[in-house]
């Protein structure tokens, strides 16, 4: 259907075809409305321009619009949109990666903290190989966390000393910990150093380390008891049984100490120190006090140590039924947990 529209500026021809698009060989403009394709001939637009009949054209004259603006502007808009999409995607990816790294980091630290608690418990229970292996592995893996790394360092040194590797323990503890290391690190490091030095016969240096540990432990009951225990063990290494007894009694009977493992070890060492002076009945009493504590703490190595020494002491007193009973129980625990120990030397190694 073809119609003619009148305008205030004069007649204009407009071709409207319902649902169709009529193509002209000349340039054309396509504007789609609902149900119609309106084809405005470029020649008609030019004929009705402001230069033709003094009427404002329905569309801007293409010659009045810079070609670069017509052609480049859509490309620039697409490019800007594309860059924004890339930037948004990059930012989102970075945030996701950061979140994943944070989660992984937190998970790694939690895993190391769990490993430390496990290795520390095994060491307190009296084991040697298991805590040493776990502590050494975690010590290498905890480098990104200096506080945990130093806790593993000290624990590794303590476990090495229990295995008789005193020089290696001292070497590991040679550097000073950072100022912001956990407070327990400073005291336990000095005590571990003193213990290894005593076993190596360097008593003067050991005393210096013990004095430093005592100065650090003034405000903590458990740490003061730990210093007394370390002093007692050092005196045992020097075969000064009387001095050892005094320090070990202070550790075992301390009212301020709350560490049950420390008390159990102090009781066992006290029994061993007194046994060296051939005071067997008293030694039996101290080992008998240690035994239920070790059993309640599920510390098989310490429990079998107390049982083995009780068997030895009863045998010295010619109480063979009790000697056999305690010795057999000690052997069962040692066999079950694969604890290597010479039954003939139980009383000589506490």
Q: Which residues pair with 11 in a beta bridge?
A: 6
Domain count, the chain: 2
Give domain status of residue 333, yes or no: no
Residue 253 CA to residue 218 CA, distance in Å, equals: 18
Check whether residue 58 and residue 76 sit in a common domain.
no
State the pLDDT at residue 231: 98
Which of 198, 216, 234 terminates a domain? The answer is 216
Task: For residues 58 and 91, state if they share a domain.
Answer: no
CA dist 120 and 148 (Å) reads 12
User: Of 14, 35, 65, which closes a domain?
Assistant: 65
> Residue range 292-307: average pLDDT?
97
Which of the residue ranges 73-87, 246-260, 322-336 has the most confident prediction, judged by mean pLDDT?
322-336
Q: Domain check: are 22 and 151 in the same one?
A: no
Range of the domain at 8: 2-65
141: Cβ–Cβ under 8 A, 6 or more apart, which residues?
112
Mean pLDDT on 293-317: 97
Q: Does the residue 148 lie in any domain?
A: yes
| pLDDT value at 350 more than 90 | no
Q: How confident is the model at residue 4 (pLDDT cuts 50, 70, 90)?
A: very low
Asked if residue 74 belongs to a domain, the reply is: yes
Q: Is the pLDDT of residue 309 over 50?
A: yes
Please identify, among 65, 81, 106, the residue that sits at the C-terminal boundary of a domain. Answer: 65
What pLDDT is recorded for position 32? Answer: 45
Query: Of the given ranges (37-46, 65-74, 81-90, 175-184), which has the lowest mean pLDDT?
Result: 37-46
**Are 57 and 109 in a shared domain?**
no
Q: Is the pLDDT of residue 229 over 90?
A: yes
**One domain, residues 22 and 106:** no
CA-CA distance, 18 to 34, in Å (whole number)? 10
* Cβ contacts of 30 within 8 Å, gap of 6 or more: 21, 37, 38, 39
Residue 86, pLDDT above cutoff 60 = yes
User: Same domain, yes or no, for 25 and 134?
Assistant: no
pTM of the complete model beyond 0.85: no
In a domain, 42, yes or no: yes
Q: Three-class SS of residue 156? A: helix
Q: What is the per-residue pLDDT for 222?
A: 82
| 245 part of a folded domain | no
> In the block, which residue shows the tokens 């418990």?
121
pLDDT, mean of residues 151-161: 98
Asked if residue 93 and residue 54 are part of one domain, the reply reads: no
Q: List, in sequence order, every beta strand (DSSP E) within the chain.
A: 2-7, 10-18, 28-33, 36-41
């Amino acid at each position: 259907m073809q119609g003619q529209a009148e305008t205030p500026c004069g007649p204009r021809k407009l071709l409207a075809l319902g649902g169709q698009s009529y193509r002209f060989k000349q340039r054309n403009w396509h504007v789609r409305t609902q149900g119609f394709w309106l084809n405005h001939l470029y020649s008609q637009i030019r004929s009705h321009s402001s230069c033709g009949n003094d009427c404002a054209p329905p569309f801007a004259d293409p010659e009045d619009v810079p070609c670069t603006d017509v052609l480049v502007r859509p490309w620039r808009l697409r490019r800007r949109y594309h860059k924004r999409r890339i930037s948004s995607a990059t930012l989102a990816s970075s945030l996701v990666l950061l979140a994943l790294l944070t989660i992984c980091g937190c998970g790694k630290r939690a895993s190391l903290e769990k490993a430390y608690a496990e290795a520390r418990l095994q060491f307190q229970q009296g084991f040697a190989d298991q805590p040493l292996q776990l502590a050494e592995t975690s010590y290498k893996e905890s480098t990104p966390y200096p506080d945990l790394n130093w806790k593993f360092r000290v624990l590794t040194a303590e476990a090495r000393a229990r295995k008789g590797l005193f020089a290696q323990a001292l070497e590991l503890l040679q550097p000073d910990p950072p100022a912001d290391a956990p407070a327990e690190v400073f005291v336990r490091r000095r005590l571990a150093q003193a213990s290894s030095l005593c076993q190596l016969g360097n008593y003067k240096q050991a005393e210096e380390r013990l004095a430093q540990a005592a100065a650090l432990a003034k405000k903590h009951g458990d740490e003061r008891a730990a210093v007394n225990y370390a002093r007692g063990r050092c005196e045992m290494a020097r075969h000064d049984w009387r001095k050892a007894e005094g320090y070990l009694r202070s550790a075992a009977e301390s009212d301020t100490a709350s560490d049950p493992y420390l008390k159990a070890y102090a009781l066992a060492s006290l029994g061993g120190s007194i046994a060296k002076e051939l005071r067997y009945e008293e030694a039996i009493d101290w080992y008998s006090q240690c035994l239920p504590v070790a059993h309640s703490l599920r510390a098989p190595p310490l429990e079998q140590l107390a049982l083995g020494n009780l068997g030895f002491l009863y045998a010295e007193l010619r109480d063979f039924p009790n000697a056999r009973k305690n010795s057999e129980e000690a052997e069962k625990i040692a066999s079950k947990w694969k604890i290597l120990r010479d039954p003939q030397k139980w009383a000589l190694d506490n």
